[in-house]
Every structure is written in structure tokens, then in C-alpha cells.
Chain A
């Protein structure tokens, strides 16, 4: 069965601190795709990154970085020098293809990040 676990329900940091959001996944597939989304209080899910399982290079985008480790089935997300605008719920998701039907995302439970000034 495919599953995504985000063990941290809530994290609270002070502005300018670094913070890491954990994501652990389970899948029997040898190749797969992982995603991170941000959901601010307004409600819209904002796409952050997509990573395929055969590319283990870490990714950096400004203050955001992602650490993918296939050996531990983890795809962690780090925000460097956090800002109040980073306050949101962050979801990690695993792509699942259902043959002859279509694709779907398996979401983790989400981590609510609160960045205080």
C-alpha cells in the first residue's frame, strides 16, 4: 500500500530560524513521484516541487531546499531563515497511477507551520 507520513502535526518557530518538515513515504514502486504543496490560510494549495525517484540530487530554490533520500524513504523540506509569510500548512504527497483510470495524489496529514515575528 502507498502511504505518506508527516509526523509533525504543528511546528512553531521564531522568524529567521531554520525549520525542517519531515516526510516519510511507503511504496512498492521502483519509480515514483513526490510532491510538496503549501496551503496558506486563504485555502489554495500552492505547488512547490515535484521530484522523481531516480533523481536523488537535492534541490534548492531560494530559501527552500529539499532532501530526498531513497534509502530512508524520506523527502524532507527545509526553510532557511523563515519568515512570517511562510506560515501555512505544508503537504507532502506521493503520485499514484491507477491503470486505465488516471492518477491521484496520496497526501500526508500535513504539517502546520507557524512563524512568529
Chain B
């Protein structure tokens, strides 16, 4: 089973709202990822959690706040977003690699169906 689930599928929010995106996987993966994708563009990495710890933050504005409550769950908390934040938000998971690992990134990432976010 290579399923990653995301809720909600669609979200419309105002600039003053607070909302959360949720992602779940039951593949025993220890790395989870948040991506943002604008139309006609490739996904852009936002955050990486490795063994439940934030390992990569790609200089994402603080109005996006990730959280990894346990190895199966990943949340993205949204607050005071701007209309330009409207996009498809994708979650992915992969087998983890321990901190300090050198070498090549070889883990396959499995993606969820995404949340289409519209900020008004």
C-alpha cells in the first residue's frame, strides 16, 4: 500500500482565517514533506520532517507553520495567508535517512492527492 491521504481536498479561506491541512500515511515512512504547486509549475519543496523533526525549511514565510505530531501525521497550519498563497498543497512521504547521512538521496517519495487552496 503506497497511499498518502490529505484532507481537505479543497479549502477556501479569507486572509484573516486560521486553517490546517492534514496528511497521513501508514507505510511506516519516517520522512514527510510539504510541497506547494502553482499552476503549470513543478512542485516546490516547503518543509521536510525526518524522524518527526523538522530537517529542512525552504525559507517559507511564518504564516505557514508545519507540525508533525507523530510518524504518521503531518499538519500544515495556515494563518493570515495572502491571495498569492493560493495553490495546490501536496504532502509526500518516504523512508527516512538518518541525520548525518552522506551519499545520494535515493528514497522514493509517495505523494498524496493534494489540497487545492484558494485564499480570498
B49 to A, closest residue via Cβ: A102
- Interface size grouping (class) on chain B: 20 to 34
Tell me the bound Cα distance from A102 to B101 in angstroms: 8
Please, what's the 1-or-0 string for A26-55, where 1 marks a CB less than 8 Å from any CB in chain B? 000101110101000011111100101000
A108 to B41 alpha-carbon distance, docked (Å): 9
Say if the beta carbon of B74 comes within 8 Å of chain A: no
Closest-by-CB residue of B relative to A49 is: B108
Question: Is B42 a contact of A47 with CB atoms below 8 Å?
Answer: no
Q: Are B48 and A107 in contact (CB under 8 A)?
A: no
Looking at the assembled complex, report how far the CB atom of A116 sits from the nearest CB atom of chain B, in whole angstroms: 20
The dominant DSSP class at the A interface is strand
With a cutoff of 8 Å between Cβ atoms, the chain B residues found around residue A29 in the complex are 104
Is the CB–CB distance between B50 and A102 below 8 Å? yes
- Residue A91, interface by CB 8 Å: yes
What are 21 A-to-B residue pairs whose CB atoms are below 8 Å? A44-B111, A45-B43, A45-B92, A45-B111, A46-B111, A47-B2, A52-B106, A91-B42, A95-B106, A95-B107, A96-B105, A97-B97, A97-B105, A101-B99, A102-B55, A103-B31, A104-B105, A107-B42, A107-B43, A108-B42, A109-B41
Knowing that A29-B104, A97-B105 touch, tell me 17 more A-B residue pairs with CB under 8 angstroms. A35-B109, A44-B112, A45-B111, A46-B111, A47-B2, A50-B108, A96-B105, A97-B97, A98-B56, A101-B48, A101-B50, A101-B55, A102-B56, A103-B97, A107-B43, A110-B41, A110-B42
Spell out A's residues near B (CB within 8 Å): 29, 31-33, 35, 37, 42-47, 50, 52, 91, 95-105, 107-110, 112
Seen from chain B, the residues whose Cβ lies within 8 Å of a Cβ on chain A are: 2, 31, 40-43, 45, 48, 50, 55-56, 88, 90, 92, 94, 97, 99-114, 116
